[in-house]
Structure 1
């Protein structure tokens, strides 16, 4: 369980480049889109919703369109009320590296109101490099020292140097496997350009957008590169910019410090059941006790770094709290958790896309000493997770330099961006929503939700957040001011 949780966490984390001036203009004439049956894996994942699928050709390299094309597969949950249909609602579930073809069906299963699905053709997609859209691979097997893209906790300075050797090998492996030279073209800016090609291919003058987690970076990039083509934009669990950089990664530790107290309070209230501490402070002390013990004496399938990554993943959703309590209780009573060693090879594509987009979007520091200093600082500043979030990643040794600057968020354009943000969120702390609000200015309004977890609209349960976001998508009611939603 711990290894799988830690590895899967990167699928929900945020993780982005280009400027509106440099962005090529997509053709305005609608290409012919031939809708047909979706691949079997999409049909199964979207059930009981029934989706149509199609492909849209886009340039692999927008700077040199004649160099070749790739095909982006999209899905459609068509509006059943053509008279009420406003247009298209493009979706992105996050990542980067999350498959989105079945996402319309997933959101319907999570309660997407009929008023929304009547108002739009809801469009999912596998963005470039993912799944059915020219997939890429670094050849990750899920075995060995590199398991997922969340950096491991560096218990001391020597651990940073050790990790540097691991991630250098990962970057070299990705370069070796990149036989078609596709990795360099996986950026947020290029994906935003793909969105505009899809909009044009569907014959729409504008496109609405709903993005979660990293999807907020993509949506913000699209709204900044193509402001007049963006319609109603809802960004849920905002990362703070159009890209993930070292500062963004280090905010994971801030998010864990802000979110852990919710779990600690929950566990303290159930001390009679699990014995993890009578007060939140005692539960926090138990966390360090277990982690430090595992640093020195790992048990089969679990060391201190993996324990911390597992907790990072568990704090995404309160429904996982019982999993954490059971794990802690097992460890405290001298038992070992199941050494399940799940097959993680299926995450190769997702991990590869996460790395490619993250490393291509910005120029990461290449000097290992930069990461050594950051780890030492954040180990003290954010004791729960700081020495993990600040640790070195393969981006330090990535074979490609950014092809263009990151997309700059602009406050010039329509006031059409609704930001929805839980106050306590592990990978995207509330500060990310504040940063978007500051950079987008009067184009945006921020809905702050008194809740813990990753995802506020549809993935969260707050009535206020749901009502505000739904009203905006359906009726265009943008709040006049920022809103604070009480717990519900």
Structure 2
């Protein structure tokens, strides 16, 4: 359920590894800036020991590449919410003030995916389009969760070789065995236990929900609206369950299964089906006659494209290829990971087709996608594993993982058993910080879900389980497209005007479809 590493909008999302594109912004400037005018009846800011003080808006760090008018601040929150007067950590917060105060709807919170996605960066990327789509009627606000971007970070002290995407993601060995990945997973878990400290243990969905509530109070809003993407939909759904009276118009974009028995572990496992759902889109694209002129036509038929991709993955399992990145060969696992990342957006199809062409050329030097060409920062690795391991107790039996990998490699060869393989969570010290909760249909009917039918990270079938859990609280817009993330993604090739209209109408008028619909 992570967002694709190259466009941290589930990826970040992807569940494990959206963090590869984290911004490393410094805490925002504390230069005072008068808040946007408050509409009549808007609650005064509640500043108490838990909130830690008013937000002071100033310039955003240059590393954020802020949108015009985007301002930043730091929200102080308790490291441990059970001890509001104890140690505190800072969270980077950002805002684009609405341009129509006379028609102000309130604050729309942009909740990123991941775990590991930066809300501040997402607002920089999507804020202008979102403001235009909603006519300037909202103050747009986002934040970097603990461990991300300009917020307080944790470190696990991992060795370089344990911080590559193809090692943090537990790709089995070329022959399907998992002994080496289990050993690495145990090593990562041990390092995080030694070096992560209380900040690492504070990286949980429950704390993110608590931090959202403190942000609402610091903003002085009686209610929030929200647009949550990928993993962020789980955060948003948890907030809506715990604070139903504080939710206004709630949009869940690309949801996964919220069943507490499948949180995190099930999200990763579902990516195998997601890749199978989505690959036909790439295969149709790469076999279309129009691709011939650009050298991207890989076969005459979609079936031929699939056969070629699987054959090349098996060939690279046997004989990895040197690449233009020092110390980073193109293995079968790296090739499959490049494919999995490319499935997040139609815009990434040409890049993967080029990689296939480079592998087919005996004299070619494959060029790895940036996220595969080097280790990620230690802080990014920590958030990648921290939330999913702290949120829920994962299965512990290595033999059971081995059996699952063997079966999944046959059932879903495109992902080679990775989604069901052992991870550091199988060896996590102390287990889950808190028990996961079951979402219910209790609360106002003010949630609109939107989901692609062919999503490589949060399959439509997983979104249906979120829809079932929310009952009459929600309506679902199913979009006949592929890719991860739906609303305002037209530029990335996965957009849909019908779906965009449904979300925008809801945000502006509160009107949802009377029943679930398909676009």
In structure 1, the partner of 2:14 is 13
SS at match of 1:446: strand
In structure 1, the partner of 2:250 is 233
Task: Determine the C-alpha separation between the residues in 2 that align with 1:370 and 1:6.
Answer: 32
How far off is 1:5 after superposition? Answer: 6.8
Q: Is the 8 A contact 1:360 1:402 kept in 2?
A: yes
SS at match of 1:282: helix
In structure 1, the partner of 2:145 is 127
Task: Determine the C-alpha separation between the residues in 2 that align with 1:373 and 1:29.
Answer: 54
**Aligned residue runs from structure 1 range 144-183, under 5 A:** 146-147=164-165, 149-158=168-177, 160-178=178-196, 180-183=197-200
- C-alpha change, 1:344 and 1:451, in structure 2 (3 Å) is same
SS at match of 1:130: coil
In structure 1, the partner of 2:326 is none
1:276 corresponds to which of 288, 298, 307: 298
SS at match of 1:55: strand
Q: Is the 8 A contact 2:71 2:95 kept in 1?
A: yes
How far off is 1:115 after superposition? Answer: 5.2
SS at match of 1:97: coil
In structure 1, the partner of 2:205 is 188
How far off is 1:432 after superposition? Answer: 2.0
Deviations 1:430-472 (A, max 9, x none): 0122011100000000100000111110124200010000010
- C-alpha change, 1:313 and 1:435, in structure 2 (3 Å) is same
1:30 corresponds to which of 46, 61, 72: 46
The alignment's TM-score, normalised by the length of structure 1, stands at 0.89
Q: Is the 8 A contact 1:153 1:389 kept in 2?
A: no
In structure 2, the partner of 1:23 is none
How far off is 1:277 after superposition? Answer: 1.5
In structure 1, the partner of 2:336 is 308
1:286 corresponds to which of 308, 321, 330: 308
2:515 is the alignment partner of 1:481: yes
2:479 corresponds to which of 443, 449, 453: 449
Deviations 1:334-372 (A, max 9, x none): 223036887745543233112111001110011111211
Q: Is the 8 A contact 1:12 1:94 kept in 2?
A: yes
How far off is 1:254 after superposition? Answer: 0.3
1:51 corresponds to which of 70, 74, 85: 70
Deviations 1:8-52 (A, max 9, x none): 89544235xxxxxxxxxxx9961252333234235x5223x2222
How far off is 1:202 after superposition? Answer: 1.1
Q: Is the 8 A contact 1:154 1:391 kept in 2?
A: no
Q: Which moved more, 1:265-274 or 1:424-433?
A: 265-274
Deviations 1:51-70 (A, max 9, x none): 22222222211233343222
Q: Which moved more, 1:278-287 or 1:114-123?
A: 114-123
Q: Which moved more, 1:124-133 or 1:302-311?
A: 124-133
Task: Determine the C-alpha separation between the residues in 1 that align with 2:508 and 2:122.
Answer: 19
Task: Determine the C-alpha separation between the residues in 1 that align with 2:162 and 2:97.
Answer: 44
- C-alpha change, 1:153 and 1:282, in structure 2 (3 Å) is farther
- C-alpha change, 1:165 and 1:232, in structure 2 (3 Å) is same
Task: Determine the C-alpha separation between the residues in 2 that align with 1:391 and 1:469.
Answer: 36
In structure 2, the partner of 1:458 is 488
- C-alpha change, 1:41 and 1:175, in structure 2 (3 Å) is farther
In structure 1, the partner of 2:21 is none
Unaligned runs of 5+ in 2: 17-42, 48-52, 323-328
Task: Determine the C-alpha separation between the residues in 1 that align with 2:487 and 2:385.
Answer: 27
In structure 2, the partner of 1:86 is 105
Task: Determine the C-alpha separation between the residues in 1 that align with 2:411 and 2:254.
Answer: 23
- C-alpha change, 1:362 and 1:28, in structure 2 (3 Å) is farther
2:240 is the alignment partner of 1:223: yes
How far off is 1:143 after superposition? Answer: 3.6
The alignment's TM-score, normalised by the length of structure 2, stands at 0.84
Q: CA RMSD in A?
A: 2.4
**Aligned residue runs from structure 1 range 87-486, under 5 A:** 87-109=106-128, 111-114=129-132, 116=134, 118-140=136-158, 142-143=160-161, 146-147=164-165, 149-158=168-177, 160-178=178-196, 180-241=197-258, 244-270=263-289, 272=292, 273-274=295-296, 276-300=298-322, 301-334=329-362, 335-338=364-367, 344=374, 347-459=377-489, 460-485=494-519
Task: Determine the C-alpha separation between the residues in 2 that align with 1:28 and 1:252.
Answer: 44
Task: Determine the C-alpha separation between the residues in 1 that align with 2:13 and 2:351.
Answer: 18
How far off is 1:182 after superposition? Answer: 1.3
Q: Is the 8 A contact 1:13 1:427 kept in 2?
A: yes
Q: Is the 8 A contact 2:79 2:202 kept in 1?
A: yes
Q: Is the 8 A contact 1:422 1:456 kept in 2?
A: yes
Task: Determine the C-alpha separation between the residues in 2 that align with 1:82 and 1:118.
Answer: 8
2:104 is the alignment partner of 1:76: no
Q: Is the 8 A contact 2:189 2:428 kept in 1?
A: yes
Task: Determine the C-alpha separation between the residues in 1 that align with 2:204 and 2:163.
Answer: 27
Q: Is the 8 A contact 1:145 1:166 kept in 2?
A: no
Q: Which moved more, 1:377-386 or 1:319-328?
A: 377-386
Unaligned runs of 5+ in 1: 16-26
SS at match of 1:96: coil
How far off is 1:276 after superposition? Answer: 2.0
Q: Is the 8 A contact 1:115 1:474 kept in 2?
A: no
Paired residues in the alignment total 466
